[in-house]
Amino acid sequence: MKINGLRDLSSYKQPFYRFLIYFWLFGIVSLITGAGCTTLELTRAFDGEFNGVKNNKLINTYCTSCHNHKDFDSETHLIKIRPKYKRKLFRLTSECRTCHYIQKTWADDHTFRKTRGYKKANRGGFKKFEKNY
Protein backbone atom coordinates (compact mmCIF):
# COMPACT_ATOMS: atom_id res chain seq x y z
CA MET A 1 0.00 0.00 0.00
CA LYS A 2 1.35 3.35 -0.97
CA ILE A 3 0.57 6.44 1.04
CA ASN A 4 0.80 9.78 -0.70
CA GLY A 5 3.36 12.20 0.73
CA LEU A 6 5.59 9.55 2.37
CA ARG A 7 8.78 8.33 0.73
CA ASP A 8 9.66 4.72 0.29
CA LEU A 9 12.11 3.52 3.01
CA SER A 10 14.29 1.70 0.48
CA SER A 11 15.51 5.05 -0.85
CA TYR A 12 17.31 5.68 2.47
CA LYS A 13 19.37 2.48 2.24
CA GLN A 14 21.65 3.62 -0.56
CA PRO A 15 23.08 6.72 1.22
CA PHE A 16 23.52 4.72 4.43
CA TYR A 17 25.51 1.99 2.68
CA ARG A 18 27.56 4.60 0.86
CA PHE A 19 28.36 6.21 4.22
CA LEU A 20 29.49 2.85 5.65
CA ILE A 21 31.74 2.15 2.67
CA TYR A 22 33.39 5.59 2.88
CA PHE A 23 33.75 5.29 6.65
CA TRP A 24 35.54 1.93 6.41
CA LEU A 25 37.73 3.09 3.52
CA PHE A 26 38.76 6.18 5.50
CA GLY A 27 39.54 3.98 8.52
CA ILE A 28 41.68 1.58 6.51
CA VAL A 29 43.61 4.39 4.81
CA SER A 30 44.17 6.06 8.21
CA LEU A 31 45.53 2.83 9.67
CA ILE A 32 47.88 2.28 6.77
CA THR A 33 49.29 5.81 6.85
CA GLY A 34 49.44 5.82 10.65
CA ALA A 35 51.32 2.53 10.73
CA GLY A 36 54.02 4.07 8.56
CA CYS A 37 54.76 6.62 11.27
CA THR A 38 55.67 3.98 13.84
CA THR A 39 58.92 2.91 12.14
CA LEU A 40 61.11 5.67 13.47
CA GLU A 41 64.86 5.54 13.13
CA LEU A 42 65.14 5.23 16.92
CA THR A 43 62.96 2.13 16.99
CA ARG A 44 64.95 0.69 14.12
CA ALA A 45 68.19 1.44 16.00
CA PHE A 46 66.96 -0.39 19.08
CA ASP A 47 66.00 -3.30 16.82
CA GLY A 48 69.55 -3.35 15.43
CA GLU A 49 68.76 -2.60 11.80
CA PHE A 50 71.79 -0.34 11.36
CA ASN A 51 75.46 -0.98 12.05
CA GLY A 52 76.65 -0.67 15.66
CA VAL A 53 78.06 2.84 15.28
CA LYS A 54 74.86 4.29 13.82
CA ASN A 55 72.72 2.45 16.40
CA ASN A 56 74.77 3.91 19.23
CA LYS A 57 74.74 7.39 17.73
CA LEU A 58 70.93 7.41 17.36
CA ILE A 59 70.40 5.99 20.85
CA ASN A 60 72.86 8.44 22.44
CA THR A 61 71.19 11.35 20.66
CA TYR A 62 67.85 10.21 22.02
CA CYS A 63 69.18 9.80 25.56
CA THR A 64 70.93 13.16 25.65
CA SER A 65 67.72 14.86 24.50
CA CYS A 66 66.32 14.49 28.02
CA HIS A 67 67.39 16.95 30.73
CA ASN A 68 68.62 14.19 33.06
CA HIS A 69 71.14 12.83 30.55
CA LYS A 70 72.19 15.95 28.63
CA ASP A 71 75.79 15.65 29.95
CA PHE A 72 75.91 11.89 29.31
CA ASP A 73 79.20 10.49 27.97
CA SER A 74 78.76 7.04 26.45
CA GLU A 75 82.46 6.14 26.38
CA THR A 76 82.99 6.57 30.12
CA HIS A 77 79.65 4.91 30.79
CA LEU A 78 80.75 1.73 29.01
CA ILE A 79 84.06 1.63 30.90
CA LYS A 80 82.33 2.18 34.22
CA ILE A 81 79.34 -0.15 33.84
CA ARG A 82 80.76 -3.22 32.03
CA PRO A 83 82.63 -4.67 35.03
CA LYS A 84 79.41 -4.75 37.06
CA TYR A 85 77.93 -7.39 34.74
CA LYS A 86 78.97 -11.03 35.13
CA ARG A 87 77.17 -12.35 32.06
CA LYS A 88 79.38 -12.64 28.96
CA LEU A 89 77.00 -10.86 26.56
CA PHE A 90 76.76 -7.76 28.72
CA ARG A 91 80.49 -7.66 29.57
CA LEU A 92 81.64 -7.79 25.95
CA THR A 93 79.01 -5.62 24.28
CA SER A 94 79.79 -2.37 22.55
CA GLU A 95 76.18 -1.50 21.67
CA CYS A 96 73.82 0.47 23.89
CA ARG A 97 70.82 -1.58 22.80
CA THR A 98 72.13 -4.64 24.62
CA CYS A 99 71.49 -3.11 28.04
CA HIS A 100 68.92 -0.48 27.12
CA TYR A 101 65.61 -0.67 25.30
CA ILE A 102 62.45 1.33 24.79
CA GLN A 103 58.91 0.31 25.57
CA LYS A 104 56.05 2.10 23.83
CA THR A 105 52.56 2.24 25.29
CA TRP A 106 50.01 2.82 22.56
CA ALA A 107 47.24 3.86 24.93
CA ASP A 108 48.85 7.16 25.92
CA ASP A 109 51.45 7.30 23.12
CA HIS A 110 54.41 7.42 25.49
CA THR A 111 57.85 5.87 25.16
CA PHE A 112 59.61 4.57 28.27
CA ARG A 113 63.37 4.13 28.47
CA LYS A 114 64.24 0.83 30.12
CA THR A 115 67.48 -0.79 31.30
CA ARG A 116 68.48 -4.40 31.72
CA GLY A 117 70.18 -3.83 35.06
CA TYR A 118 73.29 -5.69 36.14
CA LYS A 119 71.71 -7.08 39.33
CA LYS A 120 68.91 -8.84 37.48
CA ALA A 121 71.20 -9.81 34.60
CA ASN A 122 73.71 -11.40 36.99
CA ARG A 123 70.89 -13.50 38.48
CA GLY A 124 70.00 -14.72 34.97
CA GLY A 125 66.88 -12.62 34.56
CA PHE A 126 67.49 -12.02 30.86
CA LYS A 127 68.46 -15.51 29.66
CA LYS A 128 65.75 -15.51 27.00
CA PHE A 129 67.01 -12.17 25.67
CA GLU A 130 70.63 -13.41 25.70
CA LYS A 131 69.65 -16.53 23.78
CA ASN A 132 67.78 -14.51 21.10
CA TYR A 133 70.47 -11.82 20.86
pTM exceeds 0.85: no
Average of per-residue pLDDT across 83-102: 92
Total residues found in the chain within this entry: 133
CB 92 within 8 A of CB 130: no
Contact 108, 102 (CB under 8 A): no
Model confidence at 38, in pLDDT bands (50, 70, 90)?
A: very low
E strands within 6-125?
A: 100-105, 110-115
Which of 97, 94, 90 shows the shortest CA–CA distance to 59? 97
DSSP annotation of 110 reads: E
Contact status, residue 72 vs residue 63, Cβ threshold 8 Å: yes
pLDDT at 43 exceeding the cut of 60: yes
Question: Between residues 38 and 3, which one has the greater pLDDT?
Answer: 3
Is 5 buried (19+), middle (13-18) or exposed (0-12) by CB count in 10 A?
exposed
